[in-house]
Chains A and B, each alone.
Chain A
Amino acid sequence: MKFRILTFVFLFVMQHGLWSEQLKRQIGDFVKDIQIPELKFEIPKITKVQLTPSILLYSDYEDTFPIVYLDIHFYAGDSSLTNFPIELTSVLADSWKLGGSEKNPESELVKKIEDLGGTLSISSQNKKTVLSLSFLSKDEEKILEYLAELIQTPAFPETIIDKSKKKVMEGILRRNERTESLGFRKAREIVYEGFRRGIVPQLETTKTITRNMILEFYKEILASPKAIVLSGKYNKENLPKKLVEILSAKSEQQKYPKEEIPFSTLREKFYKKSLSQIFIQKPVNQSMILYFGVTPQHNHPDFFAIQLLNYIIGGGGFNSYFMQQIRQEKGLAYSAASYPIFEAKHGVIYFYTLTKNETLKEADELIQKILSLDTFQNIQEKELEDAKNSIINQFVFLFTNKHSVLSAQLGFDEDAMPENYLQIYRDKIREVTLSDILRVGKEYFDQSKLKRVYVSSKENLEKVFPNQKYYNPEDLIRE
Chain B
Amino acid sequence: MVTRCKKENPLVKNLFILFFCVYSIHAESFADIAQKLKGKIKKIELENGLRVILMQNPTSPTVALYTKFLVGGVDETPEIAGTAHLLEHMLFKGTTNIGTTNWEEEKKFYALLKATGSELDQLRLEERYSKEQNKEIPEKLSKRIQQLSRRLQAVQEQQKKYIIKSEDTYIYEQHGQVGFNAYTTHDVTNYQIKLPANRIEIWAKLESDRLLNPVLREYYTERDVIMEERRMRVENRGFGLLLEKFISVAFDESPYSRPVIGYASNIPYLDIYETENFFRTYYTPDNMVIGIVGDIDFEKTEELVKKYFLPIKAQKTKRKKHRVLEQFHKGEKRFQFEYPGGSILMLGFHKPTLPTKEDVTFNIIDSILTQGIGSRLYQAAVLKEQLCSQVSAWTTYPGERFSNLFTIIAYLNSDAKPEKLEELIWKELDRLKNGDFTEEEIERAKNKITADFLRQIDSNSVLADNLTYYELLLGNWEEIFLSYDRLNSITKQDVIQVSQKYFQKSNSVLGLLIGQKQ
Given contacts A10-B155, A334-B228, contact A30 B205 (CB under 8 A): yes
Chain B residues whose C-beta falls within 8 Å of the C-beta of A170 in the assembled complex: 342, 389, 411, 413-414
DSSP class of A's interface residues: helix, strand, loop or mixed? Answer: mixed
Question: Across the interface, do A286 and B232 meet the contact criterion of CB distance under 8 Å?
Answer: yes
CB-based nearest A residue for B226: A334
Do A335 and B102 touch (CB < 8 A)?
Answer: no
- Check: B265 CB closer than 8 A to any chain A CB: no
Residues of A within 8 A of B389 (CB): 167, 170-171
Is A24 in contact with B205, judged by CB distance below 8 angstroms? Answer: no
Residues of chain A with a CB closer than 8 A to B209's CB: 30
Task: Report whether A331 and B222 are in contact in the complex, using a CB–CB cutoff of 8 Å.
Answer: yes
Report the Cα distance A177→B232, complex, angstroms.
12
Q: Which residues of B contact A16 (CB under 8 A)?
A: 108
Known contacts A20-B102, A286-B235; decide if A117 and B451 are in contact (CB<8 Å): yes
Check if B324 is an interface residue, CB within 8 A of chain A.
Answer: no
- Interface size of A by CB at 8 A reads 99
Contact indicator A334/B229 (Cβ below 8 Å): yes
Q: Which of A3-58 contact B (CB under 8 A)?
A: 3, 6, 9-10, 13-14, 16-18, 20-28, 30-31, 34, 36-41
Shortest distance from the beta carbon of B165 to any chain A beta carbon, whole Å: 5
Is B116 interfacial (CB 8 A cutoff)?
yes
Tell me, yes or no, whether A399 is within 8 Å of chain B by CB.
Answer: yes
How far in angstroms is the closest Cβ of chain A from B127?
Answer: 17
Nearest residue (CB) in A for B169 is: A318
Write out, one digit per residue, whether chain B residues 437-474 have a CB within 8 A of any chain A CB (1) or not (0): 00010001001111110110111100000000000000
Interface check A262, CB cutoff 8 A:
no
Q: Quick check: which of A106-114, A190-198, A219-227, A270-278 contacts chain B, the rest being far away?
A: A106-114
Q: How far is the CA of A438 from the CA of B455 in the complex (A)?
A: 44
* Contact in complex: A334, B232 (CB < 8 Å): yes
Enumerate chain B residues within 8 angstroms of A234, measured Cβ to Cβ: none
In the complex, chain A residues 366-407 whose Cβ is within 8 Å of any chain B Cβ: 386, 389-390, 392-397, 399-402
Contact between B62 and A396 (Cβ–Cβ < 8 Å)?
Answer: yes
| Residues of chain A lying within 8 A (CB to CB) of residue B341 | 174, 176-177
- Is B237 interfacial (CB-CB < 8 Å)? yes
> What B residues does A173 contact at CB under 8 A?
342, 414
B411 / chain A contacts, CB cutoff of 8 Å: 170, 174
Cα–Cα, bound, A167→B378 (Å): 13
The stretch from A134-142, A251-259, A298-306, A412-420 touching chain B is: A134-142
Could you tell me which residues of chain B, from 139 to 165, have a CB within 8 Å of some CB in chain A?
144, 151, 154-155, 158, 161-162, 164-165
Contact B379 A107 (CB under 8 A): yes
CB distance from A404 to the nearest CB of B (A): 10
**Do A115 and B447 have beta carbons less than 8 Å apart?**
yes
Interface hub of A106, A330, A396 (most chain B Cβ within 10 A): A396
Q: Are B202 and A31 in contact (CB under 8 A)?
A: yes
Chain B CB within 8 A of A409 CB? no
**Interface stretch (choices B46-54, B190-198, B312-320):** B190-198
Return chain A residues, CB-CB under 8 Å to B1.
Answer: 335, 337, 339
Q: Which of A332-379 contact B (CB under 8 A)?
A: 332-337, 339, 354-356
A166 touches B413 (CB 8 A): yes
B459 in complex: contacting residue of A31, A111, A401, CB < 8 Å: A401
Q: Is B518 an interface residue (CB 8 A)?
A: yes
Question: Which A positions have Cβ atoms within 8 angstroms of B?
Answer: 3, 6, 9-10, 13-14, 16-18, 20-28, 30-31, 34, 36-41, 64-67, 97-98, 106-107, 110-111, 114-119, 134-136, 138, 163, 166-167, 170-171, 173-174, 176-179, 282-286, 316-319, 323-324, 327-337, 339, 354-356, 386, 389-390, 392-397, 399-402, 473-474
